[in-house]
Structure 1
């Protein structure tokens, strides 16, 4: 056991102190900082940007007062009084549009001419003119303001989205669904990123020592089992260190920026407690089990490589398998009740990518979730011992054949070793 921890410690220290780990940790943080900086810059630019200007041309004083007295997202150019002047100003791009409005027999006839910069304001202007027209017709009918308010009062419509489950109606909470879908996206992307990163690291760890022929010296003082699980544990500790760094930085950033207006606005729209609950629930289980499975497979395939140049070829099947699972998971988001999705959600190699989307869409029972978790964890344990058995056989094999040929040779050696142990025991 002491040798196991020595190997684990050496793998951990070597990777933590490497430039590659520092770059790997900093690159997402730099990306987030750049995106946040750009977002903040444009938000500030929008706040300091001068208001859009339009001209209002009307002989009706009430209409002029409506646009001069109320607060709008645009400014009124009071110097323009004629339509011809407004057209010239629009051509000079000194204004973004102009409104002509007149009242005839209780009806407001208006025309709004504008450029793209003013397209999102037309509905607001139309609503204001409609309210003014309603007041004009109310005066003709001798209706008071209270009567007009009663006529204009909108219908109260309470919306309730329900699901039919086992013969009864259950109300669906959209906020929970959005949180679950976000968690599903997060875990799928995170699994993909960590698989691509750490599969290469563990494969290089094994192939590097094998390619330099140091493996014979190492295995003379430590068993293949200690070496395999020591390497695996060291790499997983590096992964946990990276996650811990992000968690600490994220918590620190939240404490520092929690009183900022943009953060408060975002927190008012989302339930932070629900997000953390989802991330710390089923999704974290699928994340850990998924990454562990693929890292174990990467260690196995890395032991098949005899040179560092062969590492990328060795881990290619793992990357393709992860990509297949990732795209099935994206398909599961749009069609969570599809039979194809349901079947693949119970295949351990694809479960971490697919099942979170089915959970978000509530198309799987609690029993189904736990069956998939048990199956995934069980498969991860099984593949660990299968990989260890092959690892013991092929870790000292130096062959120029392809991966399939190396696996066949490892199987033959493993069978021969088993027969030899059986004969010795007899």
Structure 2
């Protein structure tokens, strides 16, 4: 077995056994469980007590019961309804007052009444108020129905793609956009974790003089590729496990009633769509480039205390990419956003979002990926050279000064 395979295998096994890797595997499950608990606590119908001196009027609200709102008439006065609200037996109470054919309604709730949909209650109050006025004016129910019947209004949304209007199901596009954003967020999360781990490991080995022992039996290039490759394969393993979890999630919820809303469009066709595959490949490429640069920065530091100072600037473009994603959704700065989608360190997050929004063509998307690939190859060569010339150099000048010193030494070596 070659020395590269030995280093790569050792780094991979070490990372797979690490507590942080195990934690990150269970992290989505923990988040999902917490989200489910919170969702269930906020689910169910909002219970609204209706208080009125006219019991018949109060009972008419039962005709507007829905999955979101249930109207109760068992409370006789405002005092008992208030006590029930304090005890959280109800989510709110509605006080009705009728004067000269006019109904005035006041809703009382607390800051914990998050399940109340005011628009549903307002709709019910308005409808009942119209019915009361119609009765006073002796309007037949059929006439009233015709008066309040809304005018037909349809909405047709098209997507501008390659200077053409393309008809697309809006709900499916939103689902695809949310799915792409979720995938890019996962890669952003992995990027931060593994980039920090990469730089920290190399910085620790260098600071503790362990690197001198390691490089006595192998070359700097082999050690660099083994370190980066081992961490990268760890990330790939984690991504594959996440994909298995997502596929299991979709398969389970497709046969349950919980598979509703935008989840209804989260199907196999979307998961294996060209846009999702593009996002996945670009995300993996993005993490690799960040790992290469993080390994180089780890070699430039003199001790582990300098690691955070070196990688913080590397996090900035990743965060800028996410800001530009939200800017593209809002439709602002279209020209600037499109230019940034071709800039490495940003494009791995931004370009997939623009692609699914139809703001770039497939040719532009593939061009951005090609640029990223070329930059990754170039940065790999540069990082290996800087790693080789700095990993055994101990200086307290700082990362930037070490970087400049490396360039000066290389120029002198070429001139000599």
Structure 1 and Structure 2 fold alike (TM over 0.5): yes
Aligned length: 400
Residues 150 and 316 of structure 1: is their aligned pair in 2 closer, same or farther, counting only changes over 3 Å?
Answer: closer
Q: Unpaired runs of 5+ in structure 2?
A: 86-91
Residues 255 and 323 of structure 1: is their aligned pair in 2 closer, same or farther, counting only changes over 3 Å?
Answer: closer
- With the length of structure 1 as denominator, give the TM-score of the two structures: 0.79
User: Quick check: 2:48–2:93 contact (8 Å CA) kept in 1?
Assistant: yes
Q: Distance in 2 between matches of 1:151 and 1:71?
A: 23
Per the alignment, residue 27 of structure 2 pairs with 27
Q: Distance in 2 between matches of 1:271 and 1:101?
A: 52
Is 1:388 matched with 2:384?
yes
| Aligned-residue RMSD, C-alpha | 3.5
Residues 336 and 404 of structure 1: is their aligned pair in 2 closer, same or farther, counting only changes over 3 Å?
Answer: same
Match of 1:110 among 103, 121, 125: 103
- With the length of structure 2 as denominator, give the TM-score of the two structures: 0.81
| Worse-matched range after superposition: 125-134 or 301-310 | 125-134
| Worse-matched range after superposition: 294-303 or 281-290 | 281-290
Match of 1:405 among 397, 401, 404: 401
Per the alignment, residue 2 of structure 1 pairs with 2
Per the alignment, residue 228 of structure 1 pairs with 224
Residues 91 and 275 of structure 1: is their aligned pair in 2 closer, same or farther, counting only changes over 3 Å?
Answer: same
Looking at secondary structure, tell me which structure has more helix per residue: 1
Q: Distance in 1 between matches of 2:54 and 2:295?
A: 78
Deviations 1:141-165 (A, max 9, x none): xx795x7766665433332123566
Deviations 1:311-336 (A, max 9, x none): 22222221233333333333333245
User: Quick check: 1:302–1:311 contact (8 Å CA) kept in 2?
Assistant: yes
Deviations 1:342-373 (A, max 9, x none): 22221112212322332243222222212111
Q: Rg: which structure is higher?
A: 1
Residues 296 and 42 of structure 1: is their aligned pair in 2 closer, same or farther, counting only changes over 3 Å?
Answer: same
Match of 2:278 among 262, 276, 282: 282
Per the alignment, residue 258 of structure 2 pairs with 262
User: Quick check: 2:171–2:262 contact (8 Å CA) kept in 1?
Assistant: no
Equivalent residue of 2:241, what SS?
helix
Residues 248 and 384 of structure 1: is their aligned pair in 2 closer, same or farther, counting only changes over 3 Å?
Answer: same
User: Quick check: 1:97–1:113 contact (8 Å CA) kept in 2?
Assistant: yes
Is 1:294 matched with 2:287?
no
User: Quick check: 1:187–1:353 contact (8 Å CA) kept in 2?
Assistant: no
Q: How far apart are 1:235 and its partner, in Å? A: 0.3
Q: Distance in 2 between matches of 1:68 and 1:390?
A: 75
Deviations 1:233-269 (A, max 9, x none): 1001111122223233344445555544323566336
Q: Distance in 2 between matches of 1:144 and 1:278?
A: 54
Instruction: After TM superposition, list the pairs within 5 Å mapping 1:30-41 onto structure 2.
Output: 30-41=30-41
Deviations 1:122-156 (A, max 9, x none): 3213224535755886x76xx795x7766665433
Deviations 1:184-204 (A, max 9, x none): 432442233222211121112
User: Quick check: 2:285–2:373 contact (8 Å CA) kept in 1?
Assistant: yes
Per the alignment, residue 171 of structure 2 pairs with 175
Is 1:319 matched with 2:302?
no
Match of 1:75 among 53, 61, 72: 72
Q: Unpaired runs of 5+ in structure 1?
A: 81-85, 421-426
User: Quick check: 2:160–2:358 contact (8 Å CA) kept in 1?
Assistant: no
Residues 97 and 313 of structure 1: is their aligned pair in 2 closer, same or farther, counting only changes over 3 Å?
Answer: closer
Instruction: After TM superposition, list the pairs within 5 Å mapping 1:181-200 onto structure 2.
Output: 181-200=177-196
User: Quick check: 1:187–1:283 contact (8 Å CA) kept in 2?
Assistant: yes
Per the alignment, residue 346 of structure 1 pairs with 342
Equivalent residue of 1:96, what SS?
strand
Per the alignment, residue 99 of structure 1 pairs with 96
Per the alignment, residue 423 of structure 1 pairs with none
Instruction: After TM superposition, list the pairs within 5 Å mapping 1:206-217 onto structure 2.
Output: 206-217=202-213
Residues 389 and 174 of structure 1: is their aligned pair in 2 closer, same or farther, counting only changes over 3 Å?
Answer: same
Is 1:334 matched with 2:342?
no
Equivalent residue of 2:175, what SS?
helix
Per the alignment, residue 242 of structure 1 pairs with 238
Deviations 1:273-297 (A, max 9, x none): 3255266332113211211111110
Residues 115 and 133 of structure 1: is their aligned pair in 2 closer, same or farther, counting only changes over 3 Å?
Answer: same
Q: How far apart are 1:218 and its partner, in Å? A: 2.8
Residues 166 and 300 of structure 1: is their aligned pair in 2 closer, same or farther, counting only changes over 3 Å?
Answer: closer
Q: Distance in 1 between matches of 2:339 and 2:305?
A: 37
Per the alignment, residue 130 of structure 1 pairs with 130
User: Quick check: 1:183–1:278 contact (8 Å CA) kept in 2?
Assistant: no
Q: Distance in 1 between matches of 2:19 and 2:106?
A: 60
Equivalent residue of 1:53, what SS?
strand
Q: Distance in 2 between matches of 1:280 and 1:149?
A: 48
